[in-house]
Amino acid sequence: MSEIVLETTIPVLRVAKLEVALPTYKALGFSVGWQHQLTRAAPRLTSVRQGAAELFLTEHPVAPAGAVVYFVTQGVDALVARAAAAGLGPSFGPEDRPWGDREVYFRDPDGNVLRFGQPRDR
């Protein structure tokens, strides 16, 4: 029997309009990798990346809005400063949490929550 190996995970987040959602992701340091649209009237699917992390943002109803994605992060406070410089404030934190991580949360215009946690021992 062959071994099953999962190599990466790419969460798919629902957004109503990419042009409204993308400024939030860009403020957090994500860049657009690619965009796909079957026809001019079809919903768009876009890849955004920051380091090794990748998300797919879709206008297609395949995914419900309101997901939560947790990123293990280095530089939480630098991320907050970068977002603030782009006019984006966190919905929570940054704060040291009882389980040992320093965390900050951001919410995109569609209600998706992006949680960034830095283990305090790093």
State pLDDT tens for residues 31-52: 999 999 999 999 999 999 999 9
* 78 domain-assigned: yes
Structural domains in the chain (count):
1
* 39 domain-assigned: yes
pLDDT of residue 27: 98
Q: Region 56-70: what's the mean pLDDT?
A: 92
CATH number of residue 31's parent domain: 3.10.180.10
Single pTM value for the model: 0.89
Label residue 121 by pLDDT band (50, 70, 90). Answer: confident
Domain that holds residue 21: 12-119
What's the CA gap between 104 and 106, in Å, rounded? 7
* 49 domain-assigned: yes
* 1 domain-assigned: no
Q: Do residues 29 and 50 touch, judged by C-beta distance below 8 A?
A: yes
